[in-house]
Amino acid sequence: MLSNLTSHISGFLPQAVQHRNRVILLLLVLALGLFVRALTANFIQAHFNDSAWFQFGSYAVFDRQAQAVLDGKESFFWINDSSRTDLIQYPPGYRLWVAVLYGICHTRTPSVVQRVQLVLDAFSVLVLVGIGATAFGWTTGIVAGFLMALSPLFALAGATPNADAPTSWFVLAGVLMLVMSFKHASVIWAIGAGFMIGVACWLRVNPFFLVLVWGLVLTLLGRAPRRKRICVGLATVLGAALTISPVVVRNLVVFYPEVVTNGLSIGVNLWEGIGDTSRGREFGAPASDAEMIAQDRHEMGLPADAPLQLFWPDGIRRDRMRTQKSLAVIRSHPFWFAGIMMKRIWGHLKFAGSPAPHVGSMGINVTSQKCLPPARQHGPLAILVTALGMIQSVLRYLQLPLILIGIAVAWRTNWRITALLLTTILYYLLTMSVGHSEIRYGLPMQALLLLFASVAIRRLSTALRNQFSPQPSSRAQAMS
């Protein structure tokens, strides 16, 4: 009996030590994420009036709507006036989120939203750790967590008050549940994955069709019997459909016979996407919101001082016309447009050097001059910040090769899980290549790319350790 107890204790102690070490590593990941995001937030706060770093025009829409909700002038959800097509430019979730933060903090400034979101965004790094640990093992998940915590792109997104980072939280949570559903053929996890995509669609329309891809992949790649796989795939779609349905039903009821699902932006993004190109002027496509409004005003025969917004009045019809004009150009020049799509895809994968035109920034490398107040730009803290910035710079140039190596290694290790994760990456690459898009729209894709980079780092570190560790035979020869 005593020997059994001793054996049980000896088995428990290494397990306890392992759990302790994992908790310590998770806390280090969280601390690093908070630190880098706080440094980046200092830079963003100093550039709140610079549209190159903070798109205050887009935020102003959420701010205006959130304040109207708090003041009782508008409902956060329902639209009483069918002429107010401007209220469906974005889904209703983010204006509710901003209104809640304004109400709780009793301050209606973007700084309030920034402070809350950067903390929550640091915690979202742990979701990527969970995805990596579930798909490829604990070590890979931890490495991915450190990469995401240190990433300039995610620090920038987490420290900027807009809907992109919160949308990414829910999509990544959905990916984690998707992997769990795939591994266990679980309908419950599948419903959860769909629910998370539905919540994300309350914030941004970008992942609207992603759940259809997930449902198809779960049905085709799973190892369970066919009926079970079909049930799991349908459960994912159903979870998302039920979550999104209130917004879709509201739009259909309020704006019937005009049909709009979750928001207005397809026509704008397509038409401005053509305007971003070198042939935009040739096709008469505007390159900015201001140019688009001026074009609409001219086409509608309105005077220069007539009130007109991007999606008001008659926003549904106007956006549909933009879509039709864009599709006409694409049909007439398919090979040219395919080349434009490839250039945009490359823009979303260009992690180092000057950013590609029109897709936004991959973030800043933290430095003491950019991210610390003058009084703290010298001393140990400044040295630490500069060292972090140097690491960020090195990782920028290594990221794409590591991603490519990681995808190859992961495919050989477990091609089914790899294909499951790649579907989300390909969904974002393809949908963002069609129209005007920015890097911040594809944050879930960027997180999963970091996961594949961590697969490569894990494999390379194992290879190096095996290369330089003495083999058992050599140790025996040395002892003899």
Amino acid letter at 322? R
Within a domain: residue 77? yes
Residue 255 pLDDT level (bands cut at 50, 70, 90):
confident
Question: How far is the C-alpha of 101 from the C-alpha of 113, rounded, in Å?
Answer: 7
Mean pLDDT in residue range 267-278: 88
3 state SS for 411-465 = HHHCHHHHHHHHHHHHHHHHHHHHCCCCHHHHHHHHHHHHHHHHHHHHHHHHHHH
Instruction: Supply the pLDDT for residue 203.
Output: 94
Higher pLDDT, 316 or 244: 244
Higher pLDDT, 269 or 260: 269
Q: How many separate domains does the chain show? A: 1
How does DSSP classify residue 189? H
For residue 113, give both structure tokens: 């939203």
For residue 436, give both structure tokens: 């005007």
Within a domain: residue 138? yes
Within a domain: residue 7? no
In the block, residue with structure tokens 């392992």: 18
For residue 421, give both structure tokens: 């994760």
How many C-beta neighbours within 10 Å does residue 400 have? Answer: 15
Residue 129 pLDDT level (bands cut at 50, 70, 90):
very high
CB 92 within 8 A of CB 23: no
pLDDT(270) > 50: yes
Mean pLDDT in residue range 122-150: 96
- The residue count of the chain comes to 480
- DSSP characters over 15-65: HHHHHHHHHHHHHHHHHHHHHHHHHHHHHHHTTTT-TTT--HHHHHHHHHH
Instruction: Tell me the pLDDT tens digit for each residue of 154-199.
Output: 999 999 999 999 999 999 999 999 999 999 999 999 999 999 999 9
Residue 308 phi/psi, 5-degree rounding, is: -155, 130
Within a domain: residue 155? yes
Question: How far is the C-alpha of 157 from the C-alpha of 165, rounded, in Å?
Answer: 6
pLDDT(213) > 60: yes
Within a domain: residue 3? no
Mean pLDDT in residue range 385-396: 93
pLDDT(6) > 70: no
Higher pLDDT, 389 or 360: 389
Q: What is the mean pLDDT of the chain?
A: 89
Instruction: Supply the pLDDT for residue 4.
Output: 56
Mean pLDDT in residue range 68-90: 88
Instruction: Collect all residues with Cβ–Cβ distance below 8 Å to 298 and sequence separation of at least 6.
Output: none
Decide: helix, strand or coil at residue 309: strand
Instruction: Supply the pLDDT for residue 429.
Output: 95
Instruction: Supply the pLDDT for residue 9.
Output: 47
Instruction: Supply the pLDDT for residue 477.
Output: 46
Instruction: Tell me the pLDDT tens digit for each residue of 457-480.
Output: 999 988 888 887 766 554 444 333
Residue 293 pLDDT level (bands cut at 50, 70, 90):
confident
Question: How far is the C-alpha of 39 from the C-alpha of 77, rounded, in Å?
Answer: 35
Higher pLDDT, 384 or 47: 384
Query: What's the distance, CA 229 to chain centroid?
Result: 27
Q: Which alpha helices (H) appear in 256-308, and where do they start and end?
A: 266-275, 280-283, 289-299
Within a domain: residue 365? yes
Instruction: Collect all residues with Cβ–Cβ distance below 8 Å to 315 and sequence separation of at least 6.
Output: 85, 86, 88, 89, 264, 309
CA nearest 160: which of 42, 239, 275, 252? 42
Instruction: Supply the pLDDT for residue 235.
Output: 96
Residue 351 belongs to domain spanning: 23-459
- Percent pLDDT > 90 in the chain is 58
pLDDT(447) > 60: yes
Amino acid letter at 252? L
pLDDT(12) > 70: no
Within a domain: residue 116? yes
pLDDT(73) > 80: yes
49-53, 190-194, 363-367, 444-448: which range is least confident on average? 49-53
Instruction: Supply the pLDDT for residue 436.
Output: 84
Higher pLDDT, 75 or 33: 33
Instruction: Tell me the pLDDT tens digit for each residue of 216-234.
Output: 999 999 888 889 999 999 9
Instruction: Supply the pLDDT for residue 262.
Output: 64
Within a domain: residue 11? no
Higher pLDDT, 74 or 149: 149
Give the residues across from 285 on adjacent strands: none
How many C-beta neighbours within 10 Å does residue 237 have? Answer: 20
Residue 2 pLDDT level (bands cut at 50, 70, 90):
very low
